[in-house]
Chains A and B, each alone.
Chain A
Amino acid sequence: MDLATILQILDSTIRLATPLLLACLAGLYSERAGVVDIGLEGKMLAAAFVSAAVAALTGSVWIGLVAGIAGAVALALIHGLASITFRGNQLISGVAINFLAGGLTVLIAQNLFQQGGRTPSLTGGARFTPITLPFADALRDVPVIGQLYSVLLSGHSVLVYVALLSVPLTWWVLYRTRFGLRLRAVGENPAAVDTAGVPVTGLRYAAVIIAGVLTGLAGAYLATGLAAGFVKDMTAGRGFIALAALIFAKWRPVQALWATLLFGLLEAIANRYQSVELGGIVIPVQLMQALPYILTVIILAGFVGKAIPPRAGGEAYVKER
C-alpha cells in the first residue's frame, strides 16, 4: 500500500465521516441537554429531501441548504413539543419522527416530481462542488505534507469544513460559555438549573433546535454534496451509526470527531478492499462490511470504559409534583 492509496482512503474517510460527525454533534447538543434523540436519522432524511427538492426547483444549492435546515428544524420542534412541552416519551417521539420522515419524503417527492419518490438529478449550481483550498495546486508536488494538504484537506465541499470547524466550536460553546454550562447542567440536574432561575424548557428547546440545524447540514450534505439528488431512505442508517459514535465518544465533541472518523475509515476500507487476503486466508466482503457494527459492539462492550450518559437524559422536567 503506497502513500497515494492511503491518502485516497483517508480522503474517502473524511467524506463518509462528515454526515456522521454532523449528526453526532446534533445528538450531542440534544442529549447533553437531557433530550434523548433517536430521530437523527429521520431529521437527516427530511433535510436530504427538502434540500434536494428545493435545490432542484430553484437551481440554487444555497436556498436548498437553508430549506433543508428549516425542514430538519421543523421536525426537531415537533420532537421538542412532544418531549419537552408535553413531557412525552422521548424515545417514542424520536421513533415517530423517523417513521414520519421516511413516509413523508417519498410521498411529497412523488407528488412533486412523479419520479417514484426521488428528486430529479441535480446539476450545476444546484449541487455543492468541491472547493480547492488556497495553494493546494502549488503544494501538490511537495512530498507528504503538500500531498496531505492538497489531496486530503483540499477538494471537499464547503459543508465538510463546516463540520470540521463545528467540533472546536462545539467544544468552546459547551465548556467555555455560560450557555454551555447551563446546557450541560440542564442535562444533569434540571432542578438545580431551575432553582437558579434559568428556564429549563427554553434551554432544552435551544438544544433541540441546534440539533435540527446540524442534522439539516448533514442531510443537505448527503443529498447535494455527496449524491446528486434524493433517493428514498438514502440516509441508510447513518443516523443510528452517529448515535453509536456519540456513546462511543461519551458525549464529548473532540472524541465525537475521532469516533466518526473511525466509522468513516471502516466504511472507506470496506468500500475499497472487499475480500482482503491476509496470509492466505481470504476475509469475505460480508465480514468487511459488517466490521463497523461488530466493532461498535466490541468497543461499547468493553474498550471504551463506562459510558455514562447525562443523568437527566430521557426524562421530561416537571417543575412541581
Chain B
Amino acid sequence: MTLTQKFLGAAAAVALSAGMAVAEPGLVIDLGGKFDKSFNEAAYNGAQRWVQETGGTYREIEMQTEAQREQFVRRMAEAGANPIVVMGFQNASTLEQVAPDYPDTRFVLIDAVAELPNVRSVVFTEHEGSYLVGMLAAMASETGTVSFVGGMDIPLIRRFACGYAQGARAADPDVTIIQNMTGTTPAAWNDPVRGGEIARAQISQGSDVIFSAAGGTGIGVMQAAVDAGVYAIGVDSNQNYLHPGQILTSMVKRVDNAVYQAFSEGPELETGVVVMNLAAEGVGFALDEHNEALITEEMLAAVNAASEQIKAGELVVHDYMSDDSCPVN
C-alpha cells in the first residue's frame, strides 16, 4: 500500500464517520437578510450561540428573492441537513410543498404553522409582548399620542399593532394611537425612506413614541424618531443599542432561543406546534444599560404586574389573528 493510498483510506474513513455522526443542522434565512438587526439576525445569533457552545457546524442559506423559497429549502434537504430551521411566515406554503418529500428530515418553521408530521411550527405570542411595550409607550408619552409603523400589511403585523394598541389603552385610557403600514408588497420590509417619512407624519400628528415592526424599514423609522428627539421602540431583536438613550425599549421575540433549541435537540426533535409565549419567555420587552434611565420604577412595576397577570392567564390580550379584528384602535 503506497502512502497516497493510506492517506486516501484515512480520509475516506474520516469522511464516513463524519457522515455517520449527527447530521448538520441547517438554517434557511428569509428575505430581509441575515443582518437585518431584527428577526433574521436573532436566528443567526441563536445558531452562533449553538456553535460556540457545542463547537458544531451548521449549513446556512439566505434567500434573495421570492422565487428561491422552495428551491433553497429543497437544496438544504438534499444536502442532508437535519433539522432544518426555516424562517418566516411566508415559508409555511414552502414547507407544505417540500416537507412531505423528505419524511426523514425534521423541519422547524418559525413564525407560522404548517401541520405536517415532520414539521415543528414555532409561533410567538407577539400580541403579548407588544401589549407590554404598548403600556411602556403610553406611560412614557408626554403628548398622549403614540404610534405604530408596520412593514407589509399582513395579519401577523396587525397582531403586533393590536397588542400594542391594547397595552397603550390599558396604561392610559385617553391615549391616541396612530397606526400606519408601509406597504402591501415585500418591498415594504426594505424601504427606510418611506418608513422615515411615515414616522415624520406621525410625529407631526403629535406622536412621541413610535413602535416599528417593519424589518429594514424600521431602521428609517428609528432614525426619523431619533432626529426629531422622540422615542422609538425596537422589534424582534434587542435594538436598544442602536441609538442608546433614544430607544425606549424593544419588543424582543426570542427567535434565537427557538433556533438554539432546535439545533440542540438535533434530528430527533419533537414536531408539532410550539407556542413561545410570555410565560415561556418567548416574547418580552428589553431592559438593559441603554434604556434603564428611560424606564421609571413606576413604569417597570406596572409592566411587571401586567406581565404576571398575562402569565397567570388572568389577563388575556386579544390576538388579532384569532378573528381578524382588533377591539382597540
Contact yes or no, A226 B196, CB < 8 A: yes
Contact yes or no, A228 B223, CB < 8 A: yes
Contact yes or no, B242 A268, CB < 8 A: no
Chain A residues, Cβ within 8 Å of B194: 236, 267, 271
Identify which of residues 221-278 in chain A touch chain B, using a CB-to-CB cut-off of 8 Å. Answer: 222, 226-229, 231-234, 236-237, 267-268, 271-272, 274
A residues apposed to B, CB below 8 Å: 4, 8-9, 12, 15-16, 114-118, 121, 222, 226-229, 231-234, 236-237, 267-268, 271-272, 274, 285-286, 289-290
Q: Which chain A residue shows the least CB distance to B200? A: A12
Contact yes or no, A117 B153, CB < 8 A: no
- What number of B residues sit within 8 Å (CB to CB) of A? 28
Contact yes or no, A121 B219, CB < 8 A: yes
- Option from B181, B193, B220, B242 in Cβ contact (under 8 Å) with A274: B181
Contact yes or no, A271 B35, CB < 8 A: no
Smallest Cβ distance from A150 to chain B, in angstroms?
14
A/B interface sample: 21 pairs, CB < 8 A: A8-B201, A116-B33, A116-B34, A118-B216, A118-B219, A226-B196, A226-B197, A226-B220, A227-B192, A227-B220, A227-B223, A229-B192, A229-B219, A231-B216, A233-B190, A234-B191, A236-B194, A237-B187, A271-B194, A272-B201, A286-B153
Q: A-B pairs with CB below 8 Å: how many? A: 82
In Å, the complex CA distance between A290 and B153 comes to 13
Q: Which chain B residue shows the least CB distance to A130? A: B227
Apart from the given pairs A232-B33, A236-B193, 6 other A-B contacts in the complex at a CB distance below 8 Å: A8-B201, A9-B201, A12-B201, A227-B223, A233-B187, A233-B190
Identify which of residues 217-239 in chain B touch chain A, using a CB-to-CB cut-off of 8 Å. Answer: 219-220, 223
User: Most chain-B Cβ atoms within 10 A of its Cβ — which of A114, A116, A121?
Assistant: A116
Chain A residues, Cβ within 8 Å of B36: 116
Identify which of residues 167-193 in chain B touch chain A, using a CB-to-CB cut-off of 8 Å. Answer: 179-181, 183-184, 187, 190-193
Contact yes or no, B219 A236, CB < 8 A: no
Contact yes or no, A232 B190, CB < 8 A: yes
Smallest Cβ distance from A30 to chain B, in angstroms?
24
Contact yes or no, A121 B35, CB < 8 A: no
Contact yes or no, A289 B219, CB < 8 A: no
Chain A residues, Cβ within 8 Å of B33: 116-118, 232
Contact yes or no, A231 B223, CB < 8 A: no
Contact yes or no, B197 A231, CB < 8 A: no
- Option from B41, B184, B242 in Cβ contact (under 8 Å) with A289: B184
In Å, the complex CA distance between A15 and B194 comes to 10
In Å, the complex CA distance between A197 and B97 comes to 65
Q: Which chain A residue shows the least CB distance to B226? A: A228
Chain B residues, Cβ within 8 Å of A4: 204
Contact yes or no, A236 B190, CB < 8 A: yes
Q: Which chain B residue shows the least CB distance to A114? A: B35
Smallest Cβ distance from A148 to chain B, in angstroms?
16
Q: Is residue B198 within 8 Å, beta carbon to beta carbon, of the partner chain? A: yes
Chain A residues, Cβ within 8 Å of B153: 285-286
Contact yes or no, A234 B180, CB < 8 A: no
Chain A residues, Cβ within 8 Å of B35: 114-118
Smallest Cβ distance from B214 to chain A, in angstroms?
12
Contact yes or no, A236 B187, CB < 8 A: yes
In Å, the complex CA distance between A272 and B202 comes to 8
Contact yes or no, B190 A16, CB < 8 A: no
Smallest Cβ distance from B33 to chain A, in angstroms?
4
Contact yes or no, A12 B197, CB < 8 A: yes
Chain B residues, Cβ within 8 Å of A234: 190-193
Chain A residues, Cβ within 8 Å of B242: 121
Smallest Cβ distance from A284 to chain B, in angstroms?
9
Chain B residues, Cβ within 8 Å of A121: 219, 223, 242
0/1 interface trace, chain B 194-217, chain A, CB 8 Å (1 if under): 101110110010000000000010
Nearest 7 A/B pairs, CB to CB: A116-B35, A116-B33, A227-B192, A8-B204, A228-B223, A272-B201, A236-B191
Contact yes or no, B193 A227, CB < 8 A: yes
In Å, the complex CA distance between A154 and B196 comes to 19
- Option from A116, A271, A290 in Cβ contact (under 8 Å) with B197: A271
Identify which of residues 137-169 in chain B touch chain A, using a CB-to-CB cut-off of 8 Å. Answer: 153
| A268-B197 contact, Cβ under 8 Å, with A227-B223, A286-B184 | yes
Chain A residues, Cβ within 8 Å of B197: 12, 15-16, 226, 267-268, 271
In Å, the complex CA distance between A234 and B194 comes to 10
Smallest Cβ distance from B153 to chain A, in angstroms?
6
In Å, the complex CA distance between A285 and B179 comes to 11
In Å, the complex CA distance between A15 and B242 comes to 25
Smallest Cβ distance from B207 to chain A, in angstroms?
12
Q: Which chain A residue shows the least CB distance to B33? A: A116
